[in-house]
Amino acid sequence: MRRLAWVLAFACTVTWLRAEVKLPAVFTDHMVLQRETNAPVWGWANPGEKVSVTGAWGADATASATAAANSTWRVELKTPAAGGPFTVTVQGEQNTIELKDVLIGEVWLCSGQSNMAMTVGSSNNAQEEIAAAKHPQIRLFAVHNVTAQEPQTDCKARTAWVECAPENVGGFSAAGYFFGRKLHQDLGVPVGLINSSWGGTCIEAWTPWDSQKDDPVLQQSKASWDKRDAEYDPEKAKTEFETDKKAMDEWVKGGKQGKEPKRPRGPIQPRKDPNYPANLYNAMIHPVAPFAIRGAIWYQGEGNAGRGKAYRMQLERMITAWRRVWGNDFAFYFVQLPNFMAPWQNPVEETGWADIRESFMNTAKEVPNTGMAITMDIGDEKDIHPKNKQDVGDRLARAALHNVYGKTGFAWCGPVFKACEFRDGTARVTFDTGGAPLAVKGGGDLVGFALVGQTGVRVRASAVIEGTDTVVISSPEAPQPAMVYYAWANNPVGVNLANAEGLPASPFRFGSIPKFDVFAKLLPDEAKAYKLVYAFDPTASQLADGNTRFVYDEDHSADIKAPFKKVAYFMALQDMAGKETYAFVAMDPFTTEVGKIGVPAKAAGARFQVNVTGVTVKSNAPGVTPGEFAEGCNIEFWDCNYGPGNAAKVQNADDAVYDFGDMMGTDASPGYGSMQIHNWQDKHSIVCFNRFGSGTSNDVGLGDSEGKTRDWTFTSSAKNYARGEFKVLVLP
């Protein structure tokens, strides 16, 4: 009797251990399968178990597989032309799953940060749009916001597949919905939309780590995340959050008077942060693949606007990685960031948003089967989340309708720069017009073009349309143009180049600013006597190798042998009006190593807070005292962060001000970085170059800066200059 009980218990245990066939969360009732393809269907079952999948639309709509040793199985189910509803039956040895009300049509993935996540309920005319959203053949699926440190095999659904209806569309992606609605209306087929987006996130989080791990900048970024993770104190983070929240609440209750306090940020382990590299790809993209899709739409970039030039390669990395995991080069369309922030004041304003728009444009031109919705006319000066998502969806859909579905008879994109010829004192620019001839939106004169002549000064220019695809740009202030810009600013209000259907043109630039080289003209004797070691433009410099190595335009250090009699520095700057200022500073050598007299990036190994002797200063910069100074000058060269404290006890320095007596940081480098020469005797800066690798966000200046610093720290002043020249020299 006891043995019989044991046998029965064992049999029950064996039965319980044999798991039922299971599907991932993306397969449910009411879903849409991509039409006319071999749609992957996959899941889990007991190893060796046979699983069959059958679609109710035809005799050839059956596929089967045997579960592998790791319990996974996958089939490819042949789908018909658009239609439904159908039932899809998944049959295992232990159970049967019936997926009901399945439609066959077009499926698109919608991803990005807050402007993709922004809901229909937050968009323009929200109540009217929600009330009218009765589209039973549009189906919506939303992935739950969660992170993961490794690629996941399944996701959590925030919203399982549902019919688009007033009761559920309000919380769905507005850009995604308006895109899908236009496809549905124009194609007349069911449309399935998968929303996988998260506000405030960067592109690195949406890209698998294997696809970006060879990038030195991203290696450094990940190392920084890992360092913060190792040092994370949950209790301390919780206390800081509660303190910040209390301060914010009090500020709001007090009518938002005074400076806004630090925004409270919920305590989260850095390794689990949504911006940690690959965390969102692992949890919110990989589990959805390879669910059959026609393509993806992408609205992101705000989180990477400070690194706009690098975005071109990063976007291609992500697209390539997604296509690899899906196993096909599906269509990929994205939104070029709209106008935002304060309206422009200058003909050209070098900004991160301008750079990232250029990266979007170049990706659309260079990466196959991609396209772009240009939104330069529908942004909001004061809101990074513009409410007009109807036009965003419409423009994305236009690109897809033309390029993917072969529809014609309408404009599918705004004008995009194609080529430029500088001729007869003009810039002649031709465009891919996007399906309609060029036009001036709203009529009148074209606005938004600028030229750069041989002086390097950026000037506003006149422009006229010639024929259907050409704009001719000219200015008497730039009779020999070398570079042309259009709409180059964060918020270029008033730009009006479009095509005849009103789709705006993409910002662009073309050409190169003539080299600024005035050293020999201004100081011919010094130019003859001194040997050039390094040369670069301080208003457009960059770092490489994880921000550890400075990139010079000219590097002759291999030809220079110590000892040398003098080390000298020359910096000249040309402002936007063409005015030139300069300073030349020669001094006794403070090192015998040639590699340490240049820009003190980490690789140079140079860290100096020392007085220098035998100084000669020549300058036309206001506030700079020319002359001979046997003593009374010092240099501050380092790659790290620094503070205003006068730890070196430099005479006349102020402990509370960034000046000529600052203190090197003890934290890990590379950091902010300083290359400064000062006259502490006369209490002023001479040459300042900080934050070496930030291009137009570098700090550059001659003499003292105004405000809370004397040494140009935190000024990002490079953007105020048309061009610059920096030379490091030695006297043999």
Distance between CA atoms of 251 and 245, rounded to whole angstroms?
10
Please spell the DSSP secondary structure of 571-629, one letter per residue: EEEEETT--EEEEEEEE--S-S-GGGSS---GGGT--EEEEE-SEEEEE-STT---EEE
Residue 550 DSSP class: E
Please give the model's pTM, rounded to 2 decimal places: 0.89
* Chain length of the chain: 732
Mean per-residue pLDDT, 232-245: 90
Mean predicted confidence (pLDDT) in 72-83: 97
Query: What percentage of the chain has pLDDT greater than the value 70?
Result: 97
Average pLDDT for the chain: 94
Non-local (6+) Cβ contacts of 579 within 8 A are none
* Buried residues in 524-558 as b, exposed as e (16+ CB within 10 A): eebeeebebbbbbbbbbbebebbbbbbebeebebe
Distance CA 433, CA 448 (A): 17
> What was the pLDDT predicted at 10?
34
Amino acid at the residue 550: F
How many other CB atoms are there within 10 angstroms of residue 29's CB atom?
15
Domain ranges of the chain: 17-197, 416-511, 519-731
Task: Give 258: exposed, middle or buried? Use CB within 10 Å, 0-12, 13-18, 19+.
Answer: exposed
Q: Write down the pLDDT at residue 258.
A: 80
What are the tens digits of pLDDT across the range 596-610? 999 999 999 999 999
Is 514 within 8 Å of 521 (Cβ atoms)? Answer: no
How confident is the model over 292-335, as pLDDT tens digits? 999 999 999 999 998 898 999 999 999 999 999 999 999 999 99
| Model pLDDT for residues 379-399, shown as the tens digit of each residue | 999 999 999 999 999 999 999
Q: Quick one: pLDDT at residue 404?
A: 98
For 646-670, the pLDDT digits (tens) are 988 999 999 999 999 999 987 767 8
Q: How far apart are CA 12 and CA 145, in angstroms?
A: 39
Name which CATH class applies to 17-197.
Answer: mainly beta
717 φ, ψ to 5°? Answer: -80, -10
Residue 5 in this model has a pLDDT that exceeds 70 = no
Q: Supply the pLDDT for residue 684.
A: 96
Helix axis angle for 352-366 and 308-326, nearest 10°, is 40
Q: Kindly report, residue by residue over 108-152, the tens digit of the pLDDT.
A: 999 999 999 999 999 999 999 999 999 999 999 999 999 999 999
216 band by pLDDT with thresholds 50, 70 and 90? confident
Phi, psi torsion values for 121, nearest 5 degrees: -65, -15
pLDDT in tens, 400-411: 999 999 999 999
- Residue 261 CA to residue 9 CA, distance in Å, equals 64
Cα gap 406→427, rounded to integer Å: 34
- pLDDT higher than 50, residue 615: yes
**Which residue, 451, 502, 488, is CA-closest to 473?**
451
Q: What is the mean pLDDT of residues 723-730?
A: 97
pLDDT at 712 over 70: yes
